[in-house]
Amino acid sequence: MDSQRALEVVVSTWGIAMAASPGLQIRQMLRTGESADVSIPYFGVLTVGFMLWVAYGISIDSKVLWGCNTLATLFGAATIVVARRLRPAVVVTS
């Protein structure tokens, strides 16, 4: 295995771990039933960034780049969905 291929394997493996790491936040929210400590805008910015990296990875035909970032996009979106569902409804009174 040449050094570029070895690096692709390491980067892909670490990229998958990084992409799945929001799963830890999802698990914590589901365990506590709360999402007040989770910044939804932060995960929104990350998720848009992941989508941009997916597009770039596709444009240069880099499976490593678009593959890991596709997974990250899914986990980012799932984190936002879970956080929003656990937030209490805001009632506006006039």
The answer to the question of residue 94 being in a domain is no
Neighbour-count burial of 86, counting CB atoms closer than 10 A to its CB (0-12 exposed, 13-18 middle, 19+ buried) = middle
The answer to the question of residue 30 being in a domain is yes
Q: Report whether 47 contacts 73 (CB < 8 A).
A: yes
Q: Output the six-digit token pair for 71.
A: 């997974």
| Domains in the chain, number | 1
pLDDT of 23 over the 80 cut: yes
Domain hosting residue 35, numbered range: 3-86
Residue 92 has what pLDDT? 74
Residue 87 has what pLDDT? 94
Residue 8 has what pLDDT? 86
3-state secondary structure of 51: helix
- 27-78 pLDDT, tens digit per residue, is 999 999 999 999 999 999 999 999 999 999 999 999 989 999 999 999 999 9
Q: Output the six-digit token pair for 43.
A: 């995960």
The answer to the question of residue 67 being in a domain is yes
Q: Name the pTM for this structure.
A: 0.86
pLDDT of 91 over the 80 cut: no
